[in-house]
Amino acid sequence: MNFLKTIFIIVLIYYIVKFFVKLFAPYLLKKAVDKVQKKAEQQYKNKQRETTVEEGKTVVDKTPKNTKQSNNSVGEYVDFEEID
């Protein structure tokens, strides 16, 4: 009898949790989506404020890295002669 009572309680708890999840999940998801949307809007507005530039002005955001370095002491120049 205790085994059936335990199984009944487990099934009852499962259905109660399922009911409350169906009841509150849409509210919680809507709240989470609204929070993410507000954060995205705020980031977009901040980005727009930063990028306001006068018309006709050129702005360089990132300068390229100069990775080419000529090293003249790499080796000595050898002048080859052609053999006929």
Query: Which amino acid belongs to residue 43?
Result: Q
Please tell me whether the overall predicted TM-score, pTM, comes out greater than 0.75 for this model: no
Residue 78 lies in a domain: no
Enumerate residues 6+ apart whose C-beta is below 8 A from 59: 53
Residue 62 lies in a domain: no
Residue 5 lies in a domain: no
Contact 14, 21 (CB under 8 A): no
Residue with tokens 């809007």: 41
Residue 74 lies in a domain: no
User: Over the stretch 11-40, which tens digit does the pLDDT of each residue have?
Assistant: 999 999 999 999 999 999 999 999 999 999
Enumerate residues 6+ apart whose C-beta is below 8 A from 53: 59
Residue 43 lies in a domain: yes
Residue 68 lies in a domain: no
Domain that holds residue 46: 24-52
Cα atoms found within 13 Å of the Cα of residue 6, Cβ hemisphere only? 3
pLDDT of residue 3: 94
pLDDT of residue 23: 95
Residue 83 lies in a domain: no
Domain count for the chain, please give it: 1
